Amino acid sequence: MKRKPTRSPYQSELRAEQAAATRQRIIEGALEGFAPWATDMPFDEVARRARVSERTVYRHFPTQKDLFDAVAAHITGHSGWNPEEVEAHTLGATAARAFTYFGTLIERGEPTRDPPGIKELRSRRLAMIERVVGPYTEGMDPVHARAIFAVFDGLCRVQFLRAMHEHWGLGGEEAGRAVEWAINALFDQLSEEETWKPKRKSKKRSGS
């Protein structure tokens, strides 16, 4: 009776490396198209982005939860955003690092399409922020100024209110007071910074 040929350690290691590489491609495909802002990742679309068959995706990740868990672990490892390790003195730097990583995902993904009417409302909100906050950023580096505009924009968005309600149980009035405090604190900080103070036109004295 003939014995079945056994796989050599080299062949086993090669197969394991290929499987790991395929698994990583699937995770990257999910990241580019959906995570971390999507609630659903269709396996057929993930397979297309990863350039593998849908059957291969299911072989590595039998359920959506399996794929989400793998993506979440990948994000934590690459962004440095590990909530259990964050302290008060590291929160700012950790958030900055995480935003840098998430920004690369946004740039690689497909742009979102706004529903009808949203584009106009957004344009009006952005114009308002530039008009109101703009005087406080005169003389500032343009990139820094846009960053300040973006922070104010985030505080004024309905999505932020929704997060305050869903994640922290805040009602509209409570959330409104918190946002008012944050916006006023930002304006106070901008006014205190010498290079960020608004340039005010000097008034001519009467009779001069």
Length of the chain: 208
Place domain 14-108 in its CATH homologous superfamily.
Tetracycline Repressor, domain 2 (1.10.357.10)
Residue with tokens 């929160």: 91
Q: pLDDT tens, 151-164?
A: 999 998 888 888 89
Q: pLDDT tens, 26-64?
A: 998 888 766 556 667 789 989 998 999 999 999 999 998
Amino acid 202: pLDDT: 42
Q: pLDDT tens, 121-177?
A: 788 889 999 999 999 998 899 999 999 999 999 998 888 888 899 999 999 899 999
Domain ranges of the chain: 14-108, 118-196
C-beta of residue 32 within 8 angstroms of C-beta of residue 49: yes
Task: Quickly state the pLDDT bin for 107 (edges 50, 70, 90).
Answer: confident
Amino acid 112: pLDDT: 57
Sign of torsion over alpha carbons 189, 191, 193, 197: positive
